[in-house]
Structure 1
């Protein structure tokens, strides 16, 4: 087993085969605010994929424009688009 806490977390998430299990794990690990922030980041990715402007996303989600801009930058630098497209096809 890995001694790197982050790698350990990733392994636990990869071992979860049910969204209910992931929900339990996230509830145990993250505050409600942290869970909302992660959910918003994913929603930002999805809305950007649908060519919604950053300003519209900011207004729709009730987050600052800087939050949306950070999400857009991360999305581009990590090629999240391809990963999200794969998961959309699986859903």
Structure 2
């Protein structure tokens, strides 16, 4: 197998225009716990962007400070502004 499965997933998601199909695919790929953890990562990004301290986020979401710190580090490395804009539109 010469194709990277993660790249295949990324390309497939980029080509999808139906959110129901994307939801079904993610449900097939991810456990409920994994889906919850991804949602929490997005919540962490949002709260950090709003200026909430890492300690407050940890307490508010019931996650460890290390989880919040990993989210903060990911935000420093990656531009998540488009994701946050979509998240806030749907809220």
In the superposition, the TM-score normalised over structure 1's length comes to 0.84
Q: 1:3 is paired with a residue of what secondary structure?
A: coil
2 CA distance for matches of 1:49 and 1:89? Answer: 12
Go from structure 1 to structure 2 and tell me whether the alpha carbon gap of 1:27 and 1:85 turns closer, same or farther (over 3 Å shift). closer
Matching of residue 51 in structure 1 with residue 51 in structure 2: yes
List alignment gaps of at least 5 residues for structure 2: none
Go from structure 1 to structure 2 and tell me whether the alpha carbon gap of 1:33 and 1:56 turns closer, same or farther (over 3 Å shift). same
State the partner residue of 2:7: 7
Give how far 1:14 is off. Answer: 1.0
Structural RMSD (CA): 2.0
Of 11-20 and 68-77, the range deviating more from structure 2 = 11-20
Q: 1:79 is paired with a residue of what secondary structure?
A: coil
State the partner residue of 1:84: 83
State the partner residue of 1:34: 34
| Structure 1: 4+ residue segments shifted above 4 A | 88-91
